[in-house]
Structure 1
Amino acid sequence: METLRERKKQRTRDALVRSALELFTTQGYERTTVDEIAGAVEVSQRTFFRYFAGKEEVAFAVQEMTEAHFVAAVRARPAHEAPMEALRQAVLDGWDAIRETVESAVPVELYLRMYRTIESTPALLAAHLRRSAATEETIARLLAEREGVDVDTDPRPRLAVAVFGGVIRVTERQWSTGDDFSLLAMRQLTASHLDQVGSALIGNWRVT
């Protein structure tokens, strides 16, 4: 059972995340200081650093939770599913759970606004791509384990994840610059783009 001390620490951490994301999305990542984030929660800078190594870590705190959930969802997919189908179903079937994960820390609307901030902030976008690469490697190794192949000699796990990761990045960029800025719109766009992968890779695009 979670103790009172543990609940208090979690509330402080969540408050720091909300404070940081609000400041990042309203006044900009570069212009926001750790002192401002801590001050908004009425804690010291020292307290902030008990929870986070710096601004980048707190900026991606909620995304880290959703990424961990996705990796767990891939691991839980039925063994008979082909790799690309397992990835597709993990992200689409787990959408409601991902929403609950986000809402446990911050309002979904704030999480979605942070997506746009990441896309428009070079330092955050670079960090996002670096983090995505690390997550993709984790998933490639997971797929290799599922399929009983050696990830270091068989390129297929990394190829599958590279294609999937590319679809997700295209989806994020299109969604973040579109008019419908909802989680449902992101899910629908993700499903639509994943459905087009086969024809995009092997089909003929020319209209005769």
Structure 2
Amino acid sequence: MTVPPVGRRERKKAATRQAIADAALQLFLERGYDQVGIRDIADAADVSTATVFKHFSGKEALVFDEDEDRESELTAAVRQRASGQSILDALRQYVLDTWLPIAAHPQMAEFTNLVDSTPALREYAERMWTRHTDGLSAAIADEIGVDHDNLACAALARFVLQIPVLARGRQDRRAAVEEIFDILTQGWEPPSKPPAP
């Protein structure tokens, strides 16, 4: 399938949006979220405040600038998976392909600290993940032919979205992601105790 070429205007809009998001994140990391205003961000990105609001709904959205793309990609992983591929295998591949590179980014620890230490960002992130849970749950429900309020689909969606949080502090993040998906696929069993000395 051929992807239509992106026009010059769309490329310019995307570049402006990215420049604004990059400037905002840099300022937030340097000064702290509450010490940076929209005017500061506009000046750093060399745009007007109106341009900032043209691309972003508010200050919190600047931190989570890829939010909408992530949600679309997440549901696409389920809806557009390969023929014969299970929903869990498609989600496993999505998490491995998208989250592992993000987790390895040199600024990831600073970004995580910024979000964790800023109440407004924590609340925004929670609302974002709730919306992602609803979208993913609906995609799963559609694929298996059940109602959107199906509890099993909602629980699976929520758990999948928590995998990056659970794997974040692990030495081998890939192995942690794989282990969690194995639990989802095969069911949970109590871990075996190490033999007594």
Normalising by structure 2, we get a TM-score of: 0.78
User: 2:181 corresponds to which letter in structure 1?
Assistant: L
Cα RMSD of the aligned pairs, angstroms, is: 2.9
Q: Distance in 2 between matches of 1:26 and 1:128?
A: 21
For residue 58 of structure 1, report the CA deviation from its aligned partner: 1.3
Aligned to 2:152: 156
Identity %: 28
Instruction: Kindly indicate whether residue 98 of structure 2 is the aligned counterpart of residue 95 of structure 1.
Output: yes
Deviations 1:50-98, CA, capped at 9 Å, x for gaps:
2112111111112432332222222222354444333223322x339x9
TM-score w.r.t. structure 1 length? Answer: 0.74
**Structure 2 residue 63 is the aligned partner of structure 1 residue 67:** no
Residues 116-155 of structure 1: pairs in structure 2 closer than 5 A: 116-152=113-149, 154-155=150-151
1:94-140 CA-partner distances (Å, limit 9, x unpaired): 339x95xx8xxxxx544664233222322212211111111111111
CA distance 1:150–1:6, shift in 2 (3 Å): closer
Query: Where do 5+ consecutive residues of structure 1 fail to align?
Result: 103-107
In the alignment, is the contact (CA less than 8 A) between 1:25 and 1:113 conserved in 2?
Answer: yes
Q: Report what 1:105 is aligned to.
A: none
| AA matched with 1:190 | V
Contact 1:21 / 1:110 at 8 angstroms: preserved in 2?
no
Confirm or deny: 8 A CA contact 2:88 2:185 kept in the other structure.
no
Matches of 1:138 and 1:156 in 2, distance apart?
14
Distance in 1 (CA, whole Å) between partners of 2:165 and 2:122 is 11
Change over 3 Å in CA distance of 1:95–1:46 after alignment to 2: closer
Corresponding residue for residue 203 of structure 1: 189
Contact 1:24–1:114 (CA under 8 A) maintained in structure 2: no
Amino acid at match of 2:41: I
Match of 1:193 in 2: 180
DSSP-derived class of the 1:61 partner: coil
Measure the CA separation in 2 of the matches of 1:28 and 1:12.
23
